[in-house]
Structure 1
């Protein structure tokens, strides 16, 4: 039996990722539309919103206006916290100056090829970045979220097995990273992989919170999500309409897990509090306008 929860408190953390949905979109989404969409999402009741990124505009042109977007957000009355992605110390130095941001997310790829493509750094250089960014976060009262990207395999032929994922997760725990999200960057994960990794890590490192950032198709989303739930995972990323994918990964993207599919399943299991349905429908309406 799931214990009774305080109003508005869920047994799981649901993270909505409009940044991931927008960053690879084929045309630039006007700043005003981003603000309008995010302000609608802020009223839904998500725990966290991955809203933007402080990265090179040359690398991700869609996110060049993150600072302007942040200035337009209406945070009063919203219980959602903001997360921003950063790729290096320079981006982190900019992000930590914004009081509105609670979390900084750093993509640490366990695929050497993808780490170079995504952050222009080797895995060894990225490990040093993790340590430097963690210091910045502690100093500025932010929390660092590490995404172990390509966590379930990669399309480049780089060496991969579950032990590599477990090794790098342990390295993050050693550096006192409190939130570690296993990222299925190109949608390769099987339910069995998800189960094994989460069960092993949750049992081995109770001081850390392990989440999943799963990409999926309409055919396999439920089995992946169910595997994570059964393994004891309590942090889940998604994006409305299943849009998204890293533009640095490959040409054919597998979208984010569709939040509109995740919500009913989590609520059916009494794992998620009631959300603002009116605000959710308004968010979907706006998404239908801007993602065309």
Structure 2
């Protein structure tokens, strides 16, 4: 095991965005403030997208203003779906990462961002310029990276083609995203090592969704590839409301922590704050 520290990306935004009842801004901020004290590398905290599309995230700016960043090393990531969202997010000094879902399924890119894959490539280029000018870093998710439920063509060559194009454009962090939970340990172990080897100067991450029964197998498979960046959400809440009618939750952070601890990884997390966040999560997710 190399000494590169594991980057854990906690995703409360992904966990909350599909909830039917609006979570009060004050409660969101209290939850995020606890998570900020745990010691994750990155907190995917909110999104700058149309409130019509994701009403739950309409208060992202108000939440941001309520976050205490004075005593945390955790960096903030916000999701954007178009140039306007990226411009809005870039105005906020507290935000370090702008995340953009770049689907390699044409159907899903239209559903998720109202843009084609080619139009989205232009958005990525504009976002990279914006990031460079505002001291931000782009994180691009290769969503539907393990296949899609729409019958759009998918194979490893398509994944590699788009990874290559994005890296050539200047993307430094690529996260392979399994938006609907159809990845398998076999696919993870086939695709990830190839990407990590081919794009050795790019940070390659995993954003997996899973049913509870398959979580550990997927975490184990991801770890075996040498990946050093994993997205997850406390208790495995969440899913993408734009992708399918049945939400498949995120990988549960506690499962990732348990697995990595069993491998002797030094995660350096404040477990007391983690347990406080666990308790408070019941008020949000029921």
Q: Shorter-chain-normalised TM-score: which range? A: over 0.9
Structure 2: give runs of 5+ residues left out of the alignment.
none
Aligned to 2:95: 101
User: SS of 2:100's equivalent?
Assistant: strand
How much has 1:268 moved relative to structure 2?
2.0
How much has 1:270 moved relative to structure 2?
2.6
Aligned to 2:26: 32
User: SS of 1:107's equivalent?
Assistant: strand
How much has 1:237 moved relative to structure 2?
0.2
Aligned to 2:115: 121
Q: Are 1:220 and 2:214 an aligned pair?
A: yes
Q: What is the distance in 2 between the residues matched to 1:148 and 1:205?
A: 14
Q: Are 1:196 and 2:190 an aligned pair?
A: yes
**Kept in 2: contact 1:263–1:272 (CA 8 A):** no
Q: Are 1:65 and 2:59 an aligned pair?
A: yes
**Kept in 1: contact 2:140–2:171 (CA 8 A):** yes
Structure 2 counterpart of 1:142, from 111, 136, 140:
136
Structure 1 counterpart of 2:153, from 151, 159, 162:
159
How do 1:48-87 and structure 2 match up within 5 A?
A: 48-87=42-81
- Structure 1: 4+ residue segments shifted above 6 A: none
Structure 2 counterpart of 1:183, from 177, 188, 208:
177
User: SS of 1:105's equivalent?
Assistant: strand
Aligned to 1:6: none
Aligned to 1:43: 37
How much has 1:2 moved relative to structure 2?
5.1
User: SS of 2:194's equivalent?
Assistant: helix
Structure 1 counterpart of 2:233, from 239, 243, 248:
239
Q: What is the distance in 1 between the residues matched to 2:149 and 2:199?
A: 29
Q: Deviations over 1:51-107 (max 9, x none)?
A: 000000011100000000000001111111000000011001011111100000000
Aligned to 1:171: 165
Q: What is the distance in 2 between the residues matched to 1:17 and 1:272?
A: 21
User: SS of 2:213's equivalent?
Assistant: coil
For normalisation by structure 2, the TM-score amounts to 0.98
Q: What is the distance in 2 between the residues matched to 1:228 and 1:132?
A: 31
Q: What is the distance in 2 between the residues matched to 1:262 and 1:154?
A: 25
* CA root-mean-square deviation: 1.0
Q: Deviations over 1:115-173 (max 9, x none)?
A: 00100000000000000001000110100000001110111111111211111111111
Q: What is the distance in 2 between the residues matched to 1:2 and 1:165?
A: 26
Q: Deviations over 1:154-202 (max 9, x none)?
A: 1111111121111111111111100000000000001111111111011
User: SS of 1:273's equivalent?
Assistant: coil
Structure 1: give runs of 5+ residues left out of the alignment.
4-9
For normalisation by structure 1, the TM-score amounts to 0.96
Q: Deviations over 1:266-291 (max 9, x none)?
A: 12213342311110011011101111
Q: What is the distance in 1 between the residues matched to 2:144 and 2:244?
A: 12
Q: What is the distance in 1 between the residues matched to 2:210 and 2:265?
A: 21
Q: What is the distance in 2 between the residues matched to 1:152 and 1:224?
A: 13
